[in-house]
Amino acid sequence: MHVMDDDLAGFVQSVLPNSSTIELVLEALQTLGVETLDDLKYVQEQDLVNVLRPIEARKMIEHIKALSKKDASEIPEPPSRAELACPIATARGMRSVIPGTDSSSPSEYCADNSSSPLSTPGSSTPSTPRVQSAVNNNWHFIFEIPWSKMPSEFKRKLENRERPSGRERREFIRLMVGEILTICPTPGKKHLSEIARKIVSAYPLSFRDVIEDQVVGSGYDSLTKQLQSRVDNINRGKTSLYLKRQASSTSEGEDPPSKMVRLDTYGCVNWQPKRLPPHETEDTQKRTQEELKNMHKNRSNDTRNIAKKMVATFYTQRNDIISGMETLVLVREWPYLFEMCGMIAHFKELTGVDVDREAMSVKCARVVSYLASHEKKSKIEDILAGMEIAKVNHLDADLPGCLMLLLKHFNEAQGKMFLVVDKTCLPSEVGVLPSTPCIVACGNSPLTAGHFMLAVDQTIVNGSIQNFCDALILMFASYYCLNISYPADLGATLEFLQR
């Protein structure tokens, strides 16, 4: 969830001081497009019924109405176009001053240097003013890229239209985020995306996302992601929503909790539904759950009906997952949660995203082609040879080959994602498993395996997966559906798949 205006968060806190749903309310408001206190006047009661109880929703609306009726002098007016173009002096007489400069002549700080091209390396362009007061939410449109602060070798590469090395790019991201945080301590994705766009526009040959001469996505998605990851790392622990598991805190003298609690993740649109679906009760949820268990026991092939029932019981599934139900218990209580029809239904409800198999196939083929032509042959020749053998046997080698090549490219541990066992191995015979989701390939390699298994929390949760594509989707969706963080030694590959 992107962090919103501090005044807005403070207002929600003042209206609901004892509520445990403040973060959910802020997330719901953001989804509606609310970014400032002034935006609240457009919120209606029905917008809040999914995250607040009826009385809480009405109380919030009453306070919003009272806020909108206050004397205009008590609420700061939006900045004028002049103030937006040059946030030096505000209506309250406040001034943002660049350290080391003469504060008596603010006009010199208003020069428009948002692109700051390196074609004028001799210029001593001042950095973006550091506004310590309330930050206008449109600050990113006038943010100036601090090109003059970049190392000389890095600037030379940009001028020569060369791509910086991985180390140079990471250093650039570090400097950029340092500059951004002096303007806004909690920038959102929309801010970082616009800044990334400016960077790519200034030096497209050095920064644009390209594979085989084709622009990937917007062309600046990877740069946006790097900026966002750096901001998240710096602000880690300062906000409450992270993709991880964490033990519940306890007061002094209390017994520690016996199990872990699965916490919220950004990227999910329906992480913890607050209300049962219409016409549903706890009894009907329990009945449907038992029906699903019986269908699984009887090996039902009615995937459409299974998916419908999984969607109907999504509320109860999420409660069980978030409450920390052990994986073995989840397998028993929600067996379809670890099979394709059920996992995909849960994933769609959770993230709002459909899994596009055709797009996966096309993109994997392109990635394989790119890595095969750019990686050192000695590093990947075994994988390429295995792919050729798989194709001779009429097996689809692009998807597993793509994943293996990515792991090699990012120098990440293949053993953390794949465990290769004998093709006759039973689920109960699989040896030591990693704690994070992984694919067990039953055969000589993931490229030629006859079938696969899925392991989560060192437990085989699905022992009969017929193809690699299903195994990959189940493994990746498990991170989201079960709120498990990406392991550090697979982070780059999983982030690549996510995009």
Q: How confident is the model at residue 310, as a pLDDT? A: 94
pLDDT confidence bin for 314, thresholds 50/70/90:
very high
pLDDT confidence bin for 454, thresholds 50/70/90:
very high
Q: Are 183 and 128 in contact (CB under 8 A)?
A: yes
Q: What is the spatial distance between Cα 59 and Cα 120, in angstroms, rounded to a whole number?
A: 57
Q: Give me the amino acid identity at 337.
A: L
Longest dimension (CA), the chain: 81
Q: Are 186 and 134 in contact (CB under 8 A)?
A: no
Residue where the block lists tokens 């080391």: 100
Closest CA to 314 of 262, 349, 356: 349
pLDDT at 256 exceeding the cut of 50: no
pLDDT at 255 exceeding the cut of 90: no
User: Which of 73-77, 260-264, 341-345, 375-379 has the highest mean predicted lDDT (pLDDT)?
Assistant: 341-345
Q: How confident is the model at residue 101, as a pLDDT? A: 37
Per the structure block, which two tokens stand in for 225? 């992601």
Per the structure block, which two tokens stand in for 254? 């209390």
The string of pLDDT tens digits covering residues 122-148 is 444 444 444 444 557 788 888 889 998
Mean pLDDT taken over the chain:
78
Kindly report the pTM of this predicted structure. 0.52
Q: How confident is the model at residue 112, as a pLDDT? A: 38
Handedness of CA 286, 291, 292, 296 (dihedral sign): positive
Q: How confident is the model at residue 335, as a pLDDT? A: 93
Residue where the block lists tokens 């198999």: 357
The string of pLDDT tens digits covering residues 148-177 is 889 989 999 999 999 999 889 988 998 999
Lowest-pLDDT range, 283-297, 304-318, 485-499? Answer: 485-499
The string of pLDDT tens digits covering residues 319-330 is 999 888 889 999
Q: What is the spatial distance between Cα 443 and Cα 191, in angstroms, rounded to a whole number?
A: 48
Q: How confident is the model at residue 92, as a pLDDT? A: 34
CA angle (109, 114, 117) in 5-degree steps: 110
Helices first, then strands: H and E counts in the chain = 20, 8
Q: How confident is the model at residue 355, as a pLDDT? A: 81
pLDDT confidence bin for 379, thresholds 50/70/90:
confident
DSSP letter at 189 equals H
SS3 of 247, please? coil
SS3 of 497, please? helix
Percentage, residues of the chain above pLDDT 70: 78
Closest CA to 430 of 382, 463, 471, 391: 463
Residue where the block lists tokens 């001779």: 392
The string of pLDDT tens digits covering residues 174-197 is 899 999 998 888 888 888 989 999
Q: Are 309 and 288 in contact (CB under 8 A)?
A: yes
pLDDT at 238 exceeding the cut of 70: no
Q: What is the spatial distance between Cα 430 and Cα 460, in angstroms, rounded to a whole number?
A: 8
Q: How confident is the model at residue 248, as a pLDDT? A: 37
